[in-house]
Structures are given as structure tokens and as C-alpha cells.
Structure 1
């Protein structure tokens, strides 16, 4: 049993180190990438994956059910809030003209913003 705990501790430490390295790569991407959309991608994807790997490493070291439930909630809320925040940053960058529209493969938001009868800056209003 003692050997099993040592293996779990070693695997947990490796997961924490690997998750930290993934998060570091996300930070490097945020510093090096040229535009807002690329930086938004680098801020969300590696950070979420890195945090989940770190949480898995910590879970290997902890053995309490309450601690594991807390780690699961942390992972859930990270996966819930990270992409939403990134989407809002990208959408506001698009609306303020910080996105080079010629570089986009698909521009579905342009059709929504330029509907007839709507001014720039107004959202869509769906009638009930």
C-alpha cells in the first residue's frame, strides 16, 4: 500500500508540473500572438487544459471525498467561465474594430450587425 501511495504522489507531482508547463505555454502564446482573436484562444484553451491537469495532479495527492468534490467544482466552473469570457472579449474586439475582418474565414457576426433597420452598436431585438 505504501508503494501505491508513492506512485500516486509521483504521478500527482508530474501532473502538476505538466499542467503548469501547459499554462506557461498559454502565457507565451498570449505574449507572442499578433491579434486579439489568437490571444483569446491562447488565453482560454491552454489555461483550461493546464488547470484541469493540475487539478488531476492535486486529486492524486488528496484522498478526502470533500477535497475531490471541491476540485471537481473548480474544474467545472473553469470550463464554464473561461470560454464565455473569451467569447465576450472576442465579440467586443470585433465590435470595436480591433479585428482585421479580411483575415476571417467566416464572418457570421457581420451579417447580424448589418441587418436592415439596425444601427451600429445596437443588439438584435427578438420580439416575444
Structure 2
């Protein structure tokens, strides 16, 4: 049974390492920001997940597994957030190819025009009409 678990762990480490390698190659080879972000986040996170599962199988220890769970959770939480922030900054800096975008949802959000309606009113419907007080 130990030999089978070790063989599975070896296969998972190899698969995870290959995914991390393809992520690194994709970051170097791809030309635009969205494809680089895709290459940097998706295969890298899955590769790390496979490697962590392989470590848990190879070590066969609950403390090791308990240590790996937060590592995976933090990676799953931070990779999409950082990719979103980098993509948003690339859009604002004009590093994205506008012709390749099918839908540009940020064009309306970043436009300098005020929204329709009275721009001086900041209250909710049914409010007093007075501007909000500083500090709350």
C-alpha cells in the first residue's frame, strides 16, 4: 500500500511540476497581458494544488496536511485577486489591445461623464435632499 501511495505522490509531483513549468513558459512566451495572466494563474495554482496533495500523500501525517491546507487556501484566494489587480492596471495604462476585446465593460465605468440624474444629490430615495455630512 505504501508503494502505491508513493507512486501516486510521484505522479502528482510530476504533473504539478509540469503545470508550473508550462505556466512559466506561458508567461515568457505570450505577448499580451490577459494571456500572460491566464498562464500565470490557472496552471500555477493547479500545479501547486497537485504538489501539496502529493506531499500530504507522501508524508502521511495530519500535522503536515493541516499545514498544507492554509497554503492552498491562501493561494486560491490571492492568485485571482492579484490577476484582477494586474489586469485592471494594464487596462488603465492602455497596455491592452482594444481591438481584441469583444466587450469592454470598463469603458463605461472609467468614463469621466457623471451618471444621468442630478449630480448634486447624494441621498437615497426618500431622503432629506441634504448633502451627506463629513465623517458619516
If the length of structure 1 is used for normalisation, what is the TM-score?
A: 0.86
Aligned residues: 117
Q: Report what 1:46 is aligned to.
A: 43
Larger radius of gyration: 2
Q: Secondary structure at the match of 1:116?
A: coil
- Name the CA distance, whole Å, in 2 between partners of 1:11 and 1:103: 42
Aligned residue number for residue 113 of structure 2: 116
Structure 2 unaligned blocks of 5 or more: 116-131
Secondary structure at the aligned position of 2:77 is classed as helix
Query: Counterpart of 1:83?
Result: 80
Query: Cα RMSD over matched residues?
Result: 1.6
Question: Is residue 16 of structure 2 the alignment partner of residue 23 of structure 1?
Answer: no
Q: TM-score, normalised by structure 2?
A: 0.81
Question: Can you list the C-alpha shifts for 1:13-54, whole angstroms capped at 9, x where unaligned?
Answer: 110011000110111111111101110110000100110011
Shift of 1:117: 3.4
Q: For 1:68 and 1:17, how far apart are their aligned partners in 2?
A: 19
Alignment partner, residue 118 of structure 2? none
Task: Give runs of ≥4 in structure 1 deviating > 6 Å.
Answer: none
1:59 match: secondary structure: helix
Structure whose residues are more often helix by fraction: 1
